[in-house]
């Protein structure tokens, strides 16, 4: 079962992060960082580790990059959940960081988790300096004001826009907001091995979009308890989503087509990429 595969990698990543944050100062900001690094599907970390396996890298090496992307993801969730952003009180079935502590601690814990992501990617154990610095640079380009932060800014602008976004605009927004880091994750293993990342890049571009369409479908018809967060927020806010534009059936069909594209992009890897194919199918079948 694919969820078991995901859980095995998630356990490796969790152990690494737990060890990383042990023996730190006894301060709320450190406790909040640990808290925000618990749970989640670890899809991004899995993509790193599986892409790395495909290129012959050991899990002890790739887990460092997997932990880095999960730290980056955790930072983005803490800041997205802030009252001035999406104002969410529930995440992964638990109170969000600013609810459990306070806003100042949430801002600082997010800030420090972003820093931690870059620190981890600088570690010697990840391999030759050229490859580490390439990975650092591509993570920065994916996360910054040309990638994830720009997508987040477009998302906030959309909330107060007079005219709902078009399909092209939502696609562009999501390519930044969730797509850029998913693509980085899938390509990281190839970069670490000094191999061509373009097939994994095509896989990840289709996968990232399918992931977001599935998120929009979950927001409409998912079970809030399983999802671990509040749902139907977009519909209540009157925001355009893939579902509001394509309809529920149209969105499902689009997501299925994207999963087929993602699988097709892996053809050159043969059977070795079966778990990445399973991941693509899982992304649109998940309930959380």
Between the two ends of the chain, the Cα-to-Cα distance in Å is 16
Least distance CB 176 / its own copies (angstroms): 10
Least distance CB 46 / its own copies (angstroms): 23
Among 10, 37, 48, 136, which residue interacts with its own copies (rule: CB under 8 A)?
136
Least distance CB 137 / its own copies (angstroms): 3
Tell me if 158 sits within 8 A of 239, measured CB to CB: yes
Number of residues binding to its own copies, judged by CB under 8 A: 51
Residue 118 binding its own copies, by CB under 8 A:
yes
Q: Give the residue with the Cβ less far from its own copies, 115 or 198.
A: 115
* Helical spans, DSSP H, in the chain: 2-20, 28-36, 43-54, 59-80, 97-100, 103-121, 129-143, 148-159, 167-174, 180-193, 198-221, 224-227, 233-236, 242-265, 274-285
Residues from 55 through 94 that contact its own copies (CB under 8 A):
75, 79, 82, 84-85
Query: How far is residue 189's CA from residue 266's CA, in Å, rounded to a whole number?
Result: 14
Residue 38 binding its own copies, by CB under 8 A:
no
Residue 5 binding its own copies, by CB under 8 A:
no
Radius of gyration of the chain, Cα coordinates, nearest whole angstrom: 18
Q: Which whole-number Å values give the CA distances from 189 to 17, 90, 244, in the listed order?
A: 19, 33, 36
Q: Give the residue with the Cβ less far from its own copies, 28 or 164.
A: 28
| Residue 86 three-state SS | coil
Residue 33 binding its own copies, by CB under 8 A:
yes
Residue 107 binding its own copies, by CB under 8 A:
yes
Among 92, 99, 122, 201, which residue interacts with its own copies (rule: CB under 8 A)?
122
Query: For 149, left (φ over 0), alpha (ψ -120 to 50), or beta?
Result: alpha
Strand partners, 91: 94
Least distance CB 150 / its own copies (angstroms): 6
Residue 143 binding its own copies, by CB under 8 A:
yes
Tell me if 42 sits within 8 A of 70, measured CB to CB: yes
Residue 157 binding its own copies, by CB under 8 A:
yes
Residues near its own copies (CB under 8 A): 24-25, 27-30, 33, 75, 79, 82, 84-85, 102-105, 107-108, 110-112, 114-116, 118-119, 121-123, 128-130, 132-134, 136-137, 139-141, 143-146, 149-150, 152-154, 156-157
């Amino acid at each position: 079962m694919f969820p078991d595969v995901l859980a095995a990698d998630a356990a490796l990543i969790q152990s690494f992060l737990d060890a990383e944050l042990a023996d730190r100062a006894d301060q709320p900001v450190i406790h909040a960082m640990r808290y925000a690094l618990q749970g989640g599907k670890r899809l991004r970390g899995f993509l790193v580790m599986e892409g790395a396996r495909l290129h012959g890298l050991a899990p002890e090496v790739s887990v460092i990059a997997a932990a880095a992307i999960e730290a980056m993801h955790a930072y983005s969730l803490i800041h997205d959940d802030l009252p001035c952003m999406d104002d969410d009180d529930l995440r992964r079935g638990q109170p969000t960081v600013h609810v459990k502590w306070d806003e100042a601690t949430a801002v600082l814990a997010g800030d420090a988790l972003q820093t931690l992501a870059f620190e981890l990617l600088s570690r010697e154990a990840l391999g030759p300096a050229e490859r580490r610095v390439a990975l650092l640079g591509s993570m920065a380009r994916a996360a910054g004001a040309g990638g994830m932060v720009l997508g987040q800014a477009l998302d906030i602008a959309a909330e107060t826009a007079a005219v709902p976004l078009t399909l092209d605009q939502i696609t562009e927004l999501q390519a930044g907001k969730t797509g850029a880091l998913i693509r980085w994750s899938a390509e990281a293993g190839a970069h670490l091995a000094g191999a061509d990342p373009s097939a994994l890049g095509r896989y990840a571009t289709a996968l990232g979009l399918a992931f977001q369409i599935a998120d929009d479908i979950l927001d409409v018809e998912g079970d809030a308890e399983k999802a671990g967060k509040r749902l139907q927020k977009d519909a209540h806010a009157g925001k355009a989503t893939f579902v509001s534009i394509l309809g529920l059936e149209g969105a499902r069909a689009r997501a299925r087509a994207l999963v087929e594209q993602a699988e097709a992009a892996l053809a050159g890897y043969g059977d070795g990429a079966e778990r990445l194919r399973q991941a693509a199918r899982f992304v649109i079948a998940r309930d959380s």
